[in-house]
Amino acid sequence: MKENRKNNYLIKYVVVLAILIAMTILACAIPKGIGSIDNDMLQDISNSGFTNTSFNVNYPTSGGLGQFDNGVTYVYTDPEKIDDFRAGTISRDITEVTVDTSKPHGTSQQNPYVISTLADWDNFVKRMATGTNYGSGEYFVLANDLDFDGEAFHPVVHFNGTFNGLGFALKNISCSVWQYWNSSTNSFVAMPSSVAGFGTFCHSLGALITDLIVENYEFLEIPLTNQVSSNIMRCSNVGGIVGYSTGNIQILNCHTLGIISSQTASNYGAHTSWGGLLGETFNSLIVYRCSAKTEMTSHKYGTSMLPIFGGLVGGVYDTANYNYIYDSVADLTANVSGGSTIKYIHVSSVVAITHAKQLKIENVVAETDITSSHRNASGGVAWQNTKISTSRFFNIYSGNFIGASGATKLPLYMMTSDLTCTTSNSQISNLHLVKPSSLSYQTIPVAYIYSFTSSSPAQPILHETFDDIYDKAKQDVDDSILPSKIWDKSKIGGYTPADTPVRNFLTANVTFKNLLSGGGEEGLGIDTAEYRAGDALPSPSGSYLKTNHTFRGWTTDKTGKSDPVTELPTGVFGDVTYYAVWGLTDSYVASQIKTSLSVKDNIKTIEYDSVSSI
């Protein structure tokens, strides 16, 4: 018995000794960089597809919205930086926020409510339907793509807060039964007729919405609602982002692709404003670095009621002080019937009707294809009325056509208005319009002014084809007329919501280092640069490659316990440092580390490492 116990002790001693020998070899062989001790972590990772590695969402309150870990960073397109960034006085138009979980959850930008699942979205919807502040003073972030394919989508009926999409998407929404959360009955019920807006967010009293993608949505069978008020003939307003707003609203770096269609509803008893981003606003508006590809179809209207369709914005009412649209793209396909009850239509590629006192449309590529037997009262880009005191139209590239199904479609004037653009009320420069020489303009159905006439400060330069205006816009990027820090010329004329010419990708500014023994750090000869999700990260080279070392990838985890990556994962933003992860070459392991160990007197052979690489 004593002899067996002695042998067991000896075997255990040899096992421990063998492990210590192996660890000593590793320590000597990898003096610099992070070395992983888990063999499974050091296999080929080129197609691992790691995502959202920087976001761990926890739930401090059961049934509530999520929270980021302390110290996590996120970024958003900052409205306070737009003017300076466009003027070239600052290098970035985003702001980085470091999460501090000691701050009040949700009411602090440093500790926002986090939405990362479909269940979270419904909890968000319910939260906004409870009480009367509708998110005012609160911060919400989307931390994952949400796919509603086959799932019921419920819109946010009222929203007055800040929503940062972080570049993530709401996908595959199909909504034809419009319901809201009734907190009294704790159930989803039919939308009341007093709600005059429909969209991802139906109504806002003032909101900031940034960095959100709404992709492959269908907003169908828009209900007939009451007029907004007795003296404002608007109802059933729809937007890819917001249906209608009665407060100042800013939509920044948002991108949509979808369908707005209503063919079975009763005749609309007021004008309907639909937009790729925003249906109607009764207050001031800023749109920046946005895109919308939208198909709109409607045909039932009461006598003298009009469809008001805009590629980006449907209508801006006369209570608005300003309407600014910067660095955006739009592609609108509109199908409007309705018989003799419709006098004419208002359809434009940017904003169909604007009454704002100040109008700026700068750096925009937009187009419209209208199928209708009705004539269009709006210009191809916009219609403005006499309430506008100043307007500015710079660097606009547009083509807009209208005609009945099967007929030759005619080009539209770029602008129509109750107001003639003159040197005293307008700044106009570098306007480009598709107008084939073989076709005449569509005749305007009412006595509006063709805003850009021989008496205006400048007239649009006419082009034969859409390719001509695309080429001109690309050339203007090369010539720094359109800023290359915003515009990707390779995507002008063809894009998806996730990859538009103006999308702000919320990049990470990455520094690459080696982590040394004792906690020190050293550079690797790789310049700090900006990367976006999916970009390949560089590898160390030259003198930074050590004998018998193999580079495995990068990690932000100084412990070396996290899986290394070779591409920037999603959810990594702002200033970040990546550390090199090193391993040993297979040939070195095979020559230096044996897979078995003989014990004196052949008591027992102990296998302590069944793998040949580390």
User: Could you tell me the two tokens for 285?
Assistant: 């508006």
Question: How far are the Cα atoms of 112, 182, 499 from residue 133, in angstroms, in the given order?
Answer: 16, 16, 35
Which residues make Cβ contacts (< 8 Å) with residue 182, sequence separation at least 6? 129, 188, 189
Per-residue pLDDT at 28: 43
Q: Give buried/exposed letters for 364-400 (b at 16+ CB in 10 A, else e).
A: bbbbbbbbbebbbbbbbbbbbeebbeebebbbbbbbb
Q: Which tokens go with 211?
A: 């960095």
pLDDT at 183: 84
pLDDT of residue 428: 87
User: What's the CA gap between 238 and 82, in Å, rounded?
Assistant: 27
Contacts of residue 5, defined as CB under 8 A and 6 or more positions apart, other chains included, come to: none
Question: Could you report the average pLDDT of every consecutive run of 10 residues in the chain (614 residues)?
Answer: 42 44 45 38 27 68 90 93 96 93 96 96 94 92 96 95 96 93 88 86 95 96 75 81 94 97 71 92 94 89 78 86 94 84 85 88 96 87 78 94 93 82 78 96 74 63 96 97 96 89 88 85 89 87 83 86 85 84 81 60 42 36
**What distance in Å separates the CA atoms of residue 243 and residue 540, rounded to the nearest whole number?**
50
Q: What's the pLDDT score for residue 45?
A: 24
- pTM of structure: 0.82
Q: Which residues is 565 bridged to in the sheet?
A: 554
The conformation of residue 600, written as its DSSP 8-state character, comes to G
Measured CA to CA, the distance from residue 323 to residue 205 in angstroms comes to 16
* Predicted confidence (pLDDT) per residue in 426-475, tens digit: 788 999 999 999 999 998 877 666 666 555 556 799 999 999 999 999 99
Token readout for 43 is 């296999």
What is the predicted pLDDT for the residue at 476? Answer: 98
pLDDT reported for residue 425 = 74
314-331 residue pLDDT tens: 988 877 788 999 999 999
Contact 157, 203 (CB under 8 A): yes
Bridge partners (DSSP) of residue 351 are: 313, 382
| Rounded distance between C-alpha atoms, residue 454 and residue 486, angstroms | 33
Instruction: Output the CA–CA distances (angstroms, integers) from residue 371 to 103, 200, 402, 522, in the order listed.
Output: 53, 26, 6, 63
Q: Is 160 exposed, middle or buried (0-12, 13-18, 19+ CB in 10 A)?
A: buried
> Which residues are 575's β-sheet partners?
509
Instruction: Report pLDDT for 609.
Output: 42
421-426: long-range pairs with CB below 8 Å, 24+: 421/391, 421/393, 421/451, 421/452, 421/456, 421/457, 422/455, 422/456, 422/457, 423/457, 425/388, 425/389, 425/390, 425/391, 426/390, 426/391, 426/392, 426/393, 426/456, 426/457
Q: Which two tokens stand for residue 88?
A: 């070239």
| Amino acid 36: pLDDT | 36
> Using one digit for the tens of pLDDT, what is the confidence trace for 64-119?
999 999 988 899 999 999 999 999 999 999 999 999 999 999 999 999 999 999 99
Buried residues in 203-217 as b, exposed as e (16+ CB within 10 A): bbbbbbbbbbbbbbb
In 3D space, the residue among 367, 443, 432 whose CA is nearest the CA of residue 410 turns out to be 443
* Gap between the Cα atoms of 505 and 166, Å rounded: 9
> Alpha carbon of 196 to those of 225, 272, 285: distances in Å?
6, 10, 18
Two structure tokens written together for 271: 């004008």
